[in-house]
Amino acid sequence: METKLIKIKDSANIKDVELAEAAEVIRRGGLVAFPTETVYGLGANALNEDAARKIYAAKGRPSDNPLIAHISSMEELAPLVSEIPEAGRRLAEAYWPGPLTLVFPKSGLVPYGTTGGLDTVAVRMPSDPVASRLIALAGVPVAAPSANTSGRPSPTTARHVWQDMNGRIDMILDGGPVGIGVESTIVDVSGSVPVLLRPGAVTMEMLEKTVGHVEIDPAIQGPPREDLRPKAPGMKYRHYAPHGDLVLVEGAGMEAVISRINGLAKEKTDQGFRVGIICTDETMGRYRWGQVRSVGMRAKEETIAHNLFAVLREFDDLKTDYIYSESFSREHLGQAIMNRLTKAAGYHVIRV
Ligand code: AMP
Ligand code: MG
């Protein structure tokens, strides 16, 4: 299949003619990758099971890992769900459009092929103008997981999407680099207490301000356990991982962290391996072995979320064998950053 690449001239002043062909592809059951404010999504008609099947095939994604349906206005929610619980209504009012996905009991309209066989449906209203207008023009809810090969770091630029999806999908809309850089926060509002299934840019602190107590699914905090069936089925799969062996070094004292990373990097370099180091602007000058990359500024954690997946992908391009990374605080946006980093590392964390 030939993948058509369409460059969006000015996302803030998007013209319908630029999106007409993409909307048509989605309506007739094809696949279009498009920018959102979180990461690039791989879109298809969420009400068409054959189209959903194409998403799973293009990503190499297990078919029990459900898809998020994206909408462009509040009126598009009601037909997809059998009920809008109070917590869901309040969270949607507070944070839509934006980087928050809500899990509702599904209506009969949503096929099981999109929900991985579940009786719930995950819905998000993105704020990115290209995403929003594309969904409106398509006239259907758009199922859109991240537009990467399953398991790899999520794409934050059209080039990342091209690397993974060229030849496998109909079209890529290039709207430039995304803003946030990590996937949406997911909250299950289908039960009596809201449950956080995936941390993102709408933080725990923000959620609790809107709806009071929010529980945290245990699968967020640690490695998958055999006896725990995660609520977000995607949690059980290896995620976000670079090809190289990624290890996090965590400690209260930055000096001890720097010294351990330097020690590990020297050891592997001496053995002839390609080594990468993930650090921050604050510590960039302190490392002496391997390819050293700053992921952003510790003092501005949104810069770290923004660059994280691009840095992991760069180490794939460099064919790095071992990657050592500093760790971050788990507060606010740090919860999302550390969730992605620890998963990418297969929970390999060294404490110093
Ligand atoms: P991605 O498509 O890569 O952004 O990942 C979507 C995430 O949403 C996966 O972890 C899914 O398991 C989760 N998800 C989608 N639908 C549901 C649902 N109905 N219930 C729980 N989690 C869901
Ligand atoms: Mg994904």
pLDDT tens per residue across span 332-343? 999 999 999 999
Going by alpha carbons, the residue nearest to atom 22 of ligand 1 is: 232
Q: Which residues of the chain have pLDDT under 70?
A: 224-230, 233-237
- pLDDT given for residue 229 in this prediction: 64
Write the secondary structure of 204-247 as one string of H (helix), E (strand) and C (coil).
Answer: HHHHHHHHCCCEECHHHCCCCCCCCCCCCHHHHCCCCCCCCEEE
> Ligand 1: does its nearest atom lie under 6 Å from the Cβ of 103?
yes
Going by alpha carbons, the residue nearest to atom 4 of ligand 1 is: 145
> Ligand 1: does its nearest atom lie under 6 Å from the Cβ of 186?
yes
| Ligand 1: centre distance to CA 115 (Å) | 8
Token reading at 76: 């598009």
| Ligand 1: centre distance to CA 67 (Å) | 5
Per the CB < 8 A criterion, the answer to whether 196 and 208 are in contact is no
Integer Cα distance of 20 and 16 in angstroms: 6
Q: pTM to 2 decimals?
A: 0.96
> Ligand 1: does its nearest atom lie under 6 Å from the Cβ of 334?
no
Tell which atom from ligand 1 comes closest to the C-alpha of 186. 8
> Ligand 1: does its nearest atom lie under 6 Å from the Cβ of 59?
no
Proportion of the chain in helix, strand, coil states, percent, rounded to 5: 35, 20, 45
Q: Which of 264, 291, 283 has its CA nearest to residue 352?
A: 264
203-228 burial code (b ≥16 CB/10 A, e <16): bbebbeebbeebeebebbeeeeeeee
> Ligand 1: does its nearest atom lie under 6 Å from the Cβ of 345?
no
- pLDDT given for residue 225 in this prediction: 67
Instruction: Name the strand (E) or helix (H) holding 325.
Output: strand 322-326
- Provide the sign of the torsion angle of the four alpha carbons 134, 171, 175, 111, taken in this order: positive
- pLDDT given for residue 63 in this prediction: 87
Integer Cα distance of 167 and 21 in angstroms: 18
> Ligand 1: does its nearest atom lie under 6 Å from the Cβ of 277?
no
pLDDT, tens only, 320-329: 999 999 999 9
Best residue among 67, 239, 340 to mutate for probing ligand 1, ranked by most atoms within 8 Å of CB:
67
> Ligand 1: does its nearest atom lie under 6 Å from the Cβ of 181?
no
> Ligand 1: does its nearest atom lie under 6 Å from the Cβ of 172?
no
> Ligand 1: does its nearest atom lie under 6 Å from the Cβ of 115?
yes
- pLDDT given for residue 230 in this prediction: 63
Going by alpha carbons, the residue nearest to atom 1 of ligand 1 is: 145
Those residues whose beta carbon sits under 5 angstroms from the ion ligand 2 are 146
Write the CB contacts of 152 (distance below 8 Å, at least 6 apart in sequence).
Answer: 164, 240, 241, 313, 316
Going by alpha carbons, the residue nearest to atom 2 of ligand 1 is: 145
Token reading at 85: 């619980």
Question: How many C-beta neighbours within 10 Å does residue 176 have?
Answer: 13
Ligand minimally distant from the alpha carbon of residue 220: 1
